Amino acid sequence: MAKVVVGMSGGVDSSVAAILLQKQGYEVIGLFMRNWDSDINNDFLGNPNLNNNDICPQEQDYNDALKVCQKLNIPLHRVDFVKEYWDYVFTYFLDELKKGRTPNPDIMCNKYIKFDMFAKKALELGADYIATGHYARMVDGKLYRGIDSNKDQTYFLSQVSKKQLENVLFPVGDLNKSEVRKIAHEYDLITADKKDSTGICFIGERNFTKFLENYLPNTPGDIVDINTGKVLGKHIGLMYYTIGQRRGLNIGGTKERMFVAKKDLDNNILYVAIGDSNEYLMSVAAIVEDVNLLNELPLKCTAKFRYRQPDNDVSITKLDDGNLIVSYPQGVKAVTPGQACVFYNGDECLGGGIIKEVYKEKPIK
């Protein structure tokens, strides 16, 4: 009987993944990863929903995973990757913010923790396969979107290598979320109605600004109207803003809509545009670095520049340094350095890279 080690997160998706694998005849072992030390932030600094008597959310997740595994009569192991997560994911997150970019740490968590450190631990447990609750599919060794287009998570798997995806199973990738919850109810699992985790795992329900103050010094500066040069207010630090952001600007004296149009790191200025014009958010090309390909990349395909975004038709130019020029002459709004650019051929995910620079006109090679 083949042995599968399932990443049990304490959520409904991994719980149902374990059920499906059992029904398929695998010997299933659960493995819970502890990736963040919640006590590191002064008793959940900035979280109004917790008090000193509350259980840490991560411990609650472990308890839920344990109850699921006990119900399914499968063993649950626990492994601590706190140091590795700090070194490979959190440090990356902070370094990107210092550069004025908008990082996606969940992508790096998949690359360095879930499909590297976790996989190595699974091998120690005798795994023939590893499995997770991601909404994705492996078909003939290729990565495909999950059936549920609203939950598809291939965007977050775009930096995982082809080698890392060998012997990986995504049991819920062929299901819709509603079907997953239905199965969990049929088995009367404690996770059946548990809310999906949102946001960055190490911040959780905490106030993002207060959390970051522990690690990066605030450097307030001017908020300037990009059209008139008029100072409209003060920002609390460029790292807290991203291109296209409309909320949280806290600029009084105007009822007009405005959005972040540009960040000037050298002069510590946050430029905003007033109104609904997308002129400052539109671009037609980007340089993409740290490219990870899962299959051959055609000269024309589609790409996502953000997770919640439709596919965009793009053209690819390969550069000698391994980077790519990704062109989209139709124009795309708020393509942002630091975010992932993920390539698709229909439902197949071809891999992706990290957006380095964005252009109003296509750059010359």
The residues that are catalytic are 109, 201
Asked whether 323 and 288 are in contact (CB, 8 A), the reply is yes
Asked whether 221 and 235 are in contact (CB, 8 A), the reply is yes
Burial of 257 (0-12, 13-18, 19+ CB in 10 A): exposed
**How many angstroms from the chain centroid is the CA of residue 168?**
19
Q: What are phi and psi of 310, to 5 degrees?
A: -65, 165
Token digits of residue 73:
């009569």
Spatial separation of the C-alpha atoms in residues 342 and 153, rounded to whole Å = 11
Spatial separation of the C-alpha atoms in residues 103 and 347, rounded to whole Å = 25
Spatial separation of the C-alpha atoms in residues 106 and 159, rounded to whole Å = 10
Residue 6: which H helix or E strand, with range?
strand 3-7
Closest CA to 357 of 107, 98, 100: 100
Spatial separation of the C-alpha atoms in residues 4 and 129, rounded to whole Å = 5
How far, in Å, are 177, 216, 223, 264, 355 from residue 98 at the CA level?
A: 37, 8, 18, 12, 16
| H and E: helices and strands count for the chain | 8, 17
